[in-house]
Amino acid sequence: MKRITALATAVVLVGSLAACGGKAGTGATGGGLPKVGVTIYKFDDNFMSFVRRAIETSAKDRAELILNDSQNDQSKQNEQVEMMISKGVKALAINLVDPQAAPAIISKAQAANLPVVFFNKEPDAAVLQSYDKTWYVGTASAEAGVIQGNIVADAWKANPNFDRNGDGKLQYVLLKGEPGHPDAEARTKFAVDTIREAGIDVEELELQTGMWDTVKGKELMDAWIAKHGDKIEFVLANNDGMALGAVQSLKANGYFTNDKYLPVVGVDAIPDALDQIKNGLMLGTVLNDAKNQGTAATDLAINAALGKDPLEGTAWKLDENKAVRVPYVAITKDNLAVAEEAYK
């Protein structure tokens, strides 16, 4: 709990400091607001919808946004970047469809002498270093896995009844995000490693990709319940979208009534997941701070559009990889208010 409190304090402090930072002001185009081009890999992603809202809120009266839904299509995103450059944007803020496409985006931006702020999907460090006007806003991917693993380990030790078959081993299924996505790979590895490091024997019953999607999460959980039934003792999901799908499946299969319970843990702490935790249908999640990620990406992009140091007037800091890292926080029913505050 000390670790959770410390991380929660860090998030509140960062958010408070950022709110105190000076606004970027005007300039760039004839004394008007700077024009910033933004792409989101897909608007209907649960988590990214909140990042988008934070960007729009943060940019109000500070920048003119050209906002694009890339619809999970990298070729479409490439075309959108070209379109925004042709419309005279002074900076780009890009949530990549495919992190491997970052060099192509940088090439287009560099040819136009435009700064680029990537956010949420992280390019390789070498790619960020290849252009002096490129930065990243996101998280330390492994941290979410570690925190999720600690939530699971603490709950397992505190609730002996979670070990349904009494064999002392945690049998789990895991809903993985997009294969190759840095967050999906890190969350998967470090969650399971952390549970093991807590001295708990584990057995993986299933691990498949749900592509961050609620419907796919439900479909996979339906299939796993049909195959394994009560052998499943824990559900881990790389994001809350898939966790919510798992909860839908479990409810349809008679769980959460008559003391029939299966713990589900996600990542993101989106409002729908917080409601499920409050109602006892999810055990916990990990706050992936959409508000501060969107705000930081906007702050850097606006400063860069105005020809300023990207951190000027903000509380953000860059690490050795030219990245702003927004911390994760463990969320359970005991500290729901921390996550609720992040979505105000």
Q: What is the pLDDT of residues 170-199, one digit of tens each?
A: 999 999 999 988 899 999 999 999 999 999
**pLDDT value at position 274?**
97
- Exposed / middle / buried, residue 60 (Cβ in 10 Å: 0-12, 13-18, 19+): exposed
115 and 185 assigned to the same domain: no
CA angle at residue 187 from 184 to 188, to 5 degrees?
Answer: 80
Q: Would you tell me the crossing angle of helices 74-86 and 102-111 to the nearest 10 degrees?
A: 10
214 and 131 assigned to the same domain: no
**8: pLDDT strictly greater than 90:** no
Question: Is 336 within the bounds of a domain?
Answer: no
Residue 203 pairs in a beta bridge with: 171
68 and 109 assigned to the same domain: yes
214 and 262 assigned to the same domain: yes
281 and 299 assigned to the same domain: no
- What does the pLDDT average to over 47-59? 96
Q: What is the pLDDT of residues 111-148, one digit of tens each?
A: 999 999 999 999 999 999 999 999 999 999 899 999 99
Residue with tokens 């990549």: 96
Amino acid identity for residue 150 in this structure: N
**pLDDT value at position 28?**
44
- Exposed / middle / buried, residue 343 (Cβ in 10 Å: 0-12, 13-18, 19+): middle
Question: Is 240 within the bounds of a domain?
Answer: yes
The answer to whether the beta carbons of residues 220 and 243 sit under 8 Å apart is no
The answer to whether the beta carbons of residues 266 and 286 sit under 8 Å apart is yes
Q: Would you tell me the crossing angle of helices 240-252 and 271-278 to the nearest 10 degrees?
A: 40
Buried/exposed 257-289: b ≥16 CB within 10 Å, e otherwise: eeeebbbbbbbbbbeebbebbeeebbbbbbbbb
146 and 132 assigned to the same domain: no
**20: pLDDT strictly greater than 80:** no
159 and 227 assigned to the same domain: yes
- What does the pLDDT average to over 313-318? 97
157 and 259 assigned to the same domain: yes
168 and 187 assigned to the same domain: yes
Question: Is 26 within the bounds of a domain?
Answer: yes
243 and 294 assigned to the same domain: no
Residue 330 pairs in a beta bridge with: 286
The answer to whether the beta carbons of residues 5 and 12 sit under 8 Å apart is no
Question: Is 309 within the bounds of a domain?
Answer: yes
Predicted TM-score (pTM) of this structure: 0.80
What's 68's domain CATH number?
A: 3.40.50.2300
Question: Is 316 within the bounds of a domain?
Answer: yes
| Residue 110, C-beta contacts closer than 8 angstroms, at least 6 positions apart | 131, 133
pLDDT band at 23 (very low <50, low <70, confident <90, very high): very low
Question: Is 78 within the bounds of a domain?
Answer: yes
Whole domain around residue 54: which residue ranges?
A: 2-139+290-327
Question: Is 123 within the bounds of a domain?
Answer: yes
166 and 266 assigned to the same domain: yes
Structural domains of the chain, count:
2
Q: Which of 235, 263, 287 is the last residue of a domain?
A: 287
Nearest to 112 by CA among 139, 98, 92: 92
Q: What is the pLDDT of residues 250-289, one digit of tens each?
A: 999 999 999 899 999 999 999 999 999 999 999 999 999 9
**pLDDT value at position 3?**
41
pLDDT band at 200 (very low <50, low <70, confident <90, very high): very high
**pLDDT value at position 181?**
87
3-state secondary structure of 38: strand
**pLDDT value at position 31?**
56
Backbone angles phi, psi at 105, to 5 degrees: -65, -45
CA gap 126, 117 in Å, rounded: 15
**2: pLDDT strictly greater than 90:** no
> Given its phi and psi angles, is residue 171 left (phi above 0), alpha (psi -120 to 50 degrees) or beta?
beta
271 and 227 assigned to the same domain: yes
Question: Is 343 within the bounds of a domain?
Answer: no
